[in-house]
Amino acid sequence: MALLAVAMMAGACGSSSSKSKASGTVASQLVMGGPPECATRSTCLAGLEQIYGLHFKDFKPLDAGGPLTKTALKNGDIQVARLFTSDEAISIDNFVVLNDDKHFQLAGNIVPVIRTAKATSDVKSVLNKVSKALTTADLMNLNKSLDIDKQEPVDVAAKYVKDKGLAGSATGGSKGSITIGSANFSENEMLADVYADALKGAGYSVSVKAKLGSREVVEPALESGQIDLVPEYAGNYLSFLDTTVGALALDQTVSKLQALAATKGLTVLDASPASDADAIAVAKATADKYHLSKISDLGKSA
C-alpha cells in the first residue's frame, strides 16, 4: 500500500509538473483558429497536441482557411491559424508560415476522385489533362482572383480553362452526365468548376453541387452516388480514410489512397503538381514577439 501511495504521489507530481510546464509555453498564451473538424484531425489541432505537445489557450472553430479565419488572424482575435500554402493572403497580409519541423503535415497535391462507375477512359483523360496543367503558381494566382479580387469561382474557372486550352469545343451532353461536388471553401469550389468546364467542353452534361461542407459530408455523398466527382487533396484525404496513417511521400500517398478508395467504389486519378498543403501560420507581430519560425517554437517557454 505504501508503495502504491508513493507511486500515486509521484504520478500526481509528474502530471502537475507536466501541466505546469505546458501552461508556461508560448502556445498556452495563444488562441488557435481553424475549421470545426480541426479539433479532431491529425493534421490540425489533434496532431499539434500529439506530435508537438502543444496546448493552446483556446481553440475557435471558424472556417477552412477562409475569410473568417484570415480576418480573425489579421485582427488578432486568434494568434495561430490553420491556412493553406497556396493562399495569396499569406504574402499580402504578411502572415508567417511556421516550418513543420516534425513533419506532421501531409502531401497537399490536388487529385480528382471519381466514382469508378463514371471513370471511363475518356473522362480520366480529360481530368488527368487538367491535373497535368495545374501548377502551384496557377493555384496562387487563382486564389488571388477569388480572395483578393473578389471574383466568382465560376468566372475564375472559366477564364483559366480557356487560357490553358482545356475548354474543348463540344456542345451538348451526348457522352453522359456527371455531378461534381465541392467543399465549402472558394478554392475547392473553383476547382470543381474547372473540372466542370473541361468535361462540358469534352461533351458531357455536368452539374455542380457547391459548398456541400467538410469531408464528413462530401465523402458520404460521393460514396452513395449523390455526386460523382470531387477535387481532393491527396494527403488530407488519405488521413480522412485512414486515421492511423502518417506523413508520406506523394507517390506512397497516392498509392495507398488509390487502394483504399477502390474498396469504396472510387477511383483516384493522377495527382496534380499543384499543391495546397495545410499550414500553421501566425501574424508577423506574433512571430516577432515570440521569435517564431517553426512549429516547435510554440512549445518554448513564453
Give 152-184 pLDDT, tens digit per residue: 999 999 999 999 999 988 888 889 999 999 998
CA-CA distance, 108 to 273, in Å (whole number)?
9
Give the pLDDT band (50/70/90) at residue 208: very high
* Averaged confidence pLDDT in the chain: 90
CA-CA distance, 12 to 26, in Å (whole number)?
24
User: What grid cell was written down for 255?
Assistant: 498509392
**Residue 156 CB-density burial (10 A; 0-12 exposed, 13-18 middle, 19+ buried):** buried
Give the pLDDT band (50/70/90) at residue 19: very low
Residues, the chain: 302
Give the pLDDT band (50/70/90) at residue 37: confident
- Domains 24-105+278-299 and 110-268 are alike in CATH topology: no
What is the predicted pLDDT for the residue at 89?
86
- What SS3 state is found at 34? strand
What is the predicted pLDDT for the residue at 22?
58
CA-CA distance, 105 to 43, in Å (whole number)?
6
Residues 6+ apart with CB under 8 A from 210: 153, 181, 182, 189, 192
- The amino acid sitting at 226 is Q
pLDDT cut 90: percent of the chain above it:
73
- The amino acid sitting at 117 is A
Domains of the chain, by residue range, sit at 24-105+278-299, 110-268
CA-CA distance, 112 to 170, in Å (whole number)?
22
The continuous run of DSSP H or E covering 294 comes out as none
Inter-residue contact 215 to 238 (CB < 8 Å): no
Can you tell me the mean pLDDT for 74-90?
Answer: 93
Tell me the range of 81-90, 245-254, 283-292 where mean pLDDT is highest: 283-292
Of 232, 144, 169, the closest CA to residue 195 belongs to 232
210-234 residue pLDDT tens: 999 989 999 999 999 999 999 999 9
- Strand pairing report for 95-97 and 205-209: unpaired
CA-CA distance, 229 to 116, in Å (whole number)?
10
101-145 residue pLDDT tens: 998 888 899 999 999 999 999 999 999 999 999 998 899 899 999
The verdict on domain 110-268 having CATH code 3.10.105.10 is yes
- The phi and psi torsions of 175 (rounded to 5 degrees) equal -85, -5
CA-CA distance, 137 to 32, in Å (whole number)?
28
Which CATH superfamily groups domain 24-105+278-299?
Osmoprotection protein (prox); domain 2 (3.40.190.120)
What is the predicted pLDDT for the residue at 8?
37
